[in-house]
């Protein structure tokens, strides 16, 4: 089963539908839900240009930048931010 990281409900916009990132064997899947909309981005590890972590006291943000100037980010607790970034970096080619 792939690791799944859920954003905390205290983060902005995640009260009812928390965003999530799952790490499959060959892709990263980012999923954000709204009332009648699901935004899903699937990024192969070969398309990832950079992984950036910005942390505060409790919450942090992991931003995954793709080749071609597109990116997505997820807000997590600080420990989970570092864990997600390390997992993605370890799977990069």
Domains of the chain (ranges, CATH numbers): 4-91 (2.30.29.30)
**CA 72 to each of CA 1, 46, 52, 75: distance values in angstroms, whole numbers, following the listed order:** 23, 16, 11, 10
Give the residue-averaged pLDDT of 42-69: 93
What was the pLDDT predicted at 70?
Answer: 85
What was the pLDDT predicted at 13?
Answer: 65
Quick one: what percent of the chain has pLDDT higher than 90?
68
Q: How do residues 15-42 score in pLDDT, each as one tens digit?
A: 788 889 999 999 999 998 888 899 999 9
3-state secondary structure of 23: strand
How far apart, in whole angstroms, are the C-alpha atoms of residue 33 and residue 3?
19
Q: How do residues 59-87 score in pLDDT, each as one tens digit?
A: 999 999 998 878 899 999 999 999 999 99
Q: What is the DSSP letter of 50?
A: E
């Amino acid at each position: 089963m792939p690791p799944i990281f859920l954003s905390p409900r205290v983060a902005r916009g995640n009260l009812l539908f928390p965003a999530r990132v799952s790490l499959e064997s060959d892709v990263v899947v980012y999923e954000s839900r709204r009332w009648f909309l699901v935004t899903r981005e699937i990024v192969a590890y070969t398309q990832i240009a950079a992984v950036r972590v910005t942390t505060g006291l409790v919450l942090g943000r992991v931003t995954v930048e793709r080749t071609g100037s597109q990116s997505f980010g997820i807000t997590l607790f600080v420990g989970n931010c570092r864990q997600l970034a390390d997992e993605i970096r370890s799977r990069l080619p």
